[in-house]
Structure 1
Amino acid sequence: MSEQADLTQSQLFLDDTWIAAQRRLQRCWYPAEVHPEPVLRPEEPWEGTVLVLYGTVLQVGDTYRMYYATYNPPRQSLVCVAESDDGLRWRRPVVGEVEYQGSKENNIVLPGPVHPSVTHDPDDAAAPFKMVWYEDTAIRAATSPDGYRWTRIDTPLVSPVGDVQNILLDKVDGEYVILAKPFETRQRYGARIVGFTRSADFRDFPRLDIIQQPDLIDAPAVEYYGMTAFPYAGLYLGLLWRYNGLPDFIDMLLTWSYDLKEWQLPTAREAFIGPAQPWNSMWSSSASGPPIRIGNHLWFYFGGRSRGHGQNPLQYGAVGLATIAVDRFVSLTAGHIEGQVVTKPMTWPGGDLQLNASTTRHLTSHPTDGGGTLFVDVLDSAGQQIDGFAVSNRAEFAGNVPSRHRGSAQKEARAGVVRWGEGRSLNELAGQQITLAFSMRDSHLYSFRSSG
């Protein structure tokens, strides 16, 4: 994979794809930070006590739009829409499409669907919005010209299936991709698992192929309840909903793939988003689609509930927010004894080398609170040092740069840039095959990339 990688995108250290050799380093994983209060709570009569974000958050123009469902037994599920200008303060627009208790003054867009998931395809001018949901052991769908007025498709897309499904927000190679729970998974496989299907026309989806199921690292009572996925930096990241049967709660694991078929998980199965507040103490499930990028952070929206899977009638559910700095899912970390990592060969495309890294003692400290070191040498295809880019001319990175800066094009171009002796840039080696050798102490390396 490394030979074909687009080096103008961030290269992460989720696995050993880029690592030729290393010593005295540790791969460290980081959870997202759950914000204390929900961003959307059940407030309207039709919402009952539970908002279910088996739904989607996406950006339409300058506005963020959220599709969520109500769960208020014995009443039917209702698909609703909320909008926001900043991702924090959400309003319920009056859609005027569905009557509730004699009035259409509400934000309901569709009655009935369970677990709605929405994709936005601007290439389809007639019906850019598409929704899938679970109904009667099948994935059913609807299309819309504006995301407010929906027309149901008569025939199911996939049948039979289980009761959880998510559609990727972005098409993959021109095809729509759905991740879903295969039918009767507990009877056939002994646990809930995740399957995959894709279609070019949003009508003909083949049977699901299994892509995620518990393994020997998982506890015996663990099942995989559902999953969302999105493109990120040349690969696919996913949030896998881990159902812990004993005790009864659902959290989420970070997972990744290079082809949407073969998925990997960290060996240490620590939650990426899990119980953090009373309102999500027993259940956390992610919105479909990618996180929203705000400045140097990724915003993940998720549904949280206060009671377990088997305690639905008494639960409270709301929509929460968890954030993490761009690229900072995992790091190669050195302690007080210096460590090294040497990358596999790459053909440098030109541009500066930019790092997402930290040499500060604490990740939340001030950028000038130093203590660690991080040096970069450049080697040729034979592993020999390149004059002007190694030893006495080696580059030094210092500080805490979470990502490319989003404030202006000028600041973004400078953030995390590495220069060698006399201000030399890696752009001088454009088109050459090189390897990068990082020497680190008390520091963290999250990703590297070319500025292009």
Structure 2
Amino acid sequence: MFERALVGIFLFGLMVSVSGAESPRNLGTDRHVFIDRRMVDVLSNAELTVNPPDREELVLIADKPWESGGITSYGNVLWDPEAKEYKLYYVPVSWDAEPGYCTALATSKDGIHWEKPNLGQVEWNGSKENNIVVWAQREGTVAIDPSAPPEQRFALVSSAPEAGTQLFTSPDGIDFTLQEGQLSPHQSDSQISTFWDDRIGKWAHYFKVYEGEDGWHTDSKVEVSKSIPYPQEEPLGRSVARVVTEKLSDPWKEPFLCVMSRDSRDPERMDLYTNAAIKYDRAPETYLAFPTPYYHYNEPESRAYLNEPTLAIGGKRNDGVIETQLAVSRDGIDWTRYRTHYIPLHRYEDLELKVLHVYPGIVREGDELVQYFAGYTFTHGDTQVRYKNLGRKLGGVFRVVQRLDGFVSVDFDYEGGIVITDPFIFEGDTLTLNVNTSAAGEGRVEILKEDGSQNRGYTLEDCRIINGDYLDKVVTWGEGNSDVSKFAGKEIRLKFEFRGSKLYSFQFKKGEK
């Protein structure tokens, strides 16, 4: 990669960099989302802010005999275009059978009202009248593989104790068949997030690993390497590793790459549990993950909190609280993890939620994005969950709504702020913004030359004031001119001057002037 030579110039009192040998980024007509500092040269009186989802609803609870111990932290959601329905795969626990867990399916037409269909696939306590799709599997993700033959269109990548990581396939997402061989001898003891990465043309898998005294490993002691150095000398506890494969059936090659872990900004008693990593399909080179910081109680704290003097099974307490953060990446390897919460510990109606895990999978519904998370009223090591049939009192699966591109925004101060981009090249003839100025906010956009100088007719003074909440606001200058085609193929910068506003993304489009 070329080294970038930077020369500073002052533009209206702000220092902007002038690029040297490095070629400008070519956006084409791709959307740019402000998840990090990429393409941001100047950030003045503005900051990147994580935006939690809203409109929370409890949509699934444990109400079947094979769910007597509740619904666990692992599952995922997808839209099945052939069946025209949502499929939610989740892991219930039963204290009436061994090993007591399975992968089950709920379906929905609207993502709010869910059914647990009798599938007739797996026998439980002498009957197949249940919604179980795979027995004794608890840590997987179901994905649709468009390149697979029809009988293998659905794939479940999952791990279980003693079984390692395995591949199951299905024509319909209901009737799953175990494929021969192991993908890996490891068992992650946690959710595996699997998705197709179209940027590299491979399947990506993210899963939990540990750093112990004998190095990085999974629960089955598989060797793992680190992608970046960490300053701590002590073990880092639960962390996130990544492996990629050409096909879902390809064995996982070792050593795996550790891509996310606790660092010097985190408390020593915290580590990262699940990750729910995905590739965001509305913008290239955009990856999102929802890591779960697990704060560990020591034994006296755990006993006091639970009012339970005995130790957990195994002789030590593995107890604490878990919530969800947001991590972002441009390549799926190097991640920026925001330390503010994405979904915090909180109260929902009469339920005090103490453990929160986002399920992999984001579904678009009209102009909104929908996510699901598991939320529980007990801490990680609370043995009281062994009491049967608590149903809603245990929590369940929740639905939340996020704005399109809304995970992170540039938030401008109420009295005004400025963002100036790095130089880039685009295609198209109109500039559109995803922005919310609020009632009292406003903003303008300026198209600058690569060196930061102005273009006549496209200055801040020429720009029509933007005020309101828009997903696709066309920017205009002068007497309503939106045509920016004269700048296509040339190096430009954008200058955003807003006050009291949230800017989420921008995009140049063709044929909309």
Does TM, normalized by the shorter one, top 0.5?
Answer: yes
- Which residue of 2 is the match for residue 21 of structure 1? 42
> Structure 1 residues 320 and 336 mapped into 2: Cα distance closer, same or farther (>3 Å)?
closer
- Which residue of 1 is the match for residue 327 of structure 2? 255
Q: CA deviation at 1:23?
A: 1.9
Q: Which stretch of the first structure deviates more once superposed, 80-89 or 415-424? A: 415-424
Deviations, residues 52-103 of structure 1 (Å, cap 9, x unaligned): 2511100111211111111123532121111111000011122111122322
Give matches, 1:413-428, under 5 Å: 415-425=472-482, 426-428=484-486
CA distance in 2, matches of 1:271, 1:187: 32
> Structure 1 residues 378 and 255 mapped into 2: Cα distance closer, same or farther (>3 Å)?
same
Q: CA deviation at 1:317?
A: 4.3
Q: CA deviation at 1:121?
A: 0.4
Give matches, 1:15-414, under 5 Å: 15-33=36-54, 35=56, 37-61=57-81, 62-73=84-95, 75=97, 76-125=100-149, 126-136=151-161, 138-172=164-198, 173-182=200-209, 185=212, 188=215, 189-201=235-247, 202-207=249-254, 208-232=256-280, 233-234=283-284, 235-246=286-297, 248-266=320-338, 269-276=339-346, 277=348, 279=351, 281-289=353-361, 291-314=362-385, 316-360=394-438, 370-401=439-470, 403=471
> Structure 1 residues 9 and 52 mapped into 2: Cα distance closer, same or farther (>3 Å)?
farther
Q: CA deviation at 1:183?
A: 5.5
Contact 2:50/2:326 (<8 A) preserved: no
> Structure 1 residues 177 and 312 mapped into 2: Cα distance closer, same or farther (>3 Å)?
farther
Contact 1:97/1:108 (<8 A) preserved: yes
> Structure 1 residues 274 and 73 mapped into 2: Cα distance closer, same or farther (>3 Å)?
farther
Q: CA deviation at 1:318?
A: 1.1
The amino acid of 1:176's aligned partner reads W
CA distance in 2, matches of 1:280, 1:9: 42
Of the candidates 478, 491, 506, which is equivalent to residue 433 of structure 1?
Answer: 491
Contact 1:68/1:80 (<8 A) preserved: yes
> Structure 1 residues 49 and 161 mapped into 2: Cα distance closer, same or farther (>3 Å)?
closer
Q: Secondary structure at the match of 1:38?
A: strand
Larger Rg: 2
Q: CA deviation at 1:34?
A: 5.8
Contact 1:350/1:428 (<8 A) preserved: no
CA distance in 2, matches of 1:183, 1:343: 39
Q: Secondary structure at the match of 1:46?
A: helix
Contact 2:195/2:205 (<8 A) preserved: no
CA distance in 2, matches of 1:2, 1:333: 29
CA distance in 2, matches of 1:2, 1:50: 54
State how many pairs are aligned: 427
CA distance in 2, matches of 1:100, 1:108: 8
Contact 1:41/1:318 (<8 A) preserved: yes
CA distance in 2, matches of 1:372, 1:441: 5
Q: Which stretch of the first structure deviates more once superposed, 342-351 or 184-193? A: 184-193
Give the gaps of 5 or more residues in structure 1.
Answer: 361-369, 404-414
CA distance in 1, matches of 2:452, 2:435: 24
CA distance in 2, matches of 1:389, 1:199: 47
Contact 1:335/1:443 (<8 A) preserved: yes
CA distance in 1, matches of 2:23, 2:133: 45
Contact 2:27/2:426 (<8 A) preserved: no
> Structure 1 residues 371 and 105 mapped into 2: Cα distance closer, same or farther (>3 Å)?
same
Q: CA deviation at 1:261?
A: 1.1
CA distance in 1, matches of 2:424, 2:62: 51
CA distance in 2, matches of 1:203, 1:330: 35
Q: CA deviation at 1:328?
A: 1.8
Give the gaps of 5 or more residues in structure 2.
Answer: 1-21, 216-234, 302-319, 387-393
CA distance in 2, matches of 1:400, 1:218: 36
Q: Secondary structure at the match of 2:369?
A: strand
Q: Secondary structure at the match of 2:192?
A: strand
Alpha-carbon RMSD across the aligned residues, in angstroms, is 2.2
The amino acid of 1:219's aligned partner reads P
CA distance in 2, matches of 1:99, 1:297: 38
Deviations, residues 284-313 of structure 1 (Å, cap 9, x unaligned): 112123x11112221111111111111144
CA distance in 1, matches of 2:262, 2:383: 25
The amino acid of 2:423's aligned partner reads P
Report % sequence identity: 28
Q: Which stretch of the first structure deviates more once superposed, 83-92 or 420-429? A: 420-429
CA distance in 2, matches of 1:186, 1:251: 27
- Which residue of 2 is the match for residue 412 of structure 1? none
The amino acid of 2:474's aligned partner reads V
Q: Secondary structure at the match of 1:421?
A: coil
The amino acid of 2:136's aligned partner reads G
CA distance in 1, matches of 2:268, 2:292: 16
CA distance in 2, matches of 1:314, 1:99: 24
Q: Which stretch of the first structure deviates more once superposed, 45-54 or 297-306? A: 45-54
Contact 1:255/1:263 (<8 A) preserved: yes
Q: CA deviation at 1:155?
A: 2.3
Contact 1:119/1:168 (<8 A) preserved: yes
Contact 1:40/1:90 (<8 A) preserved: yes
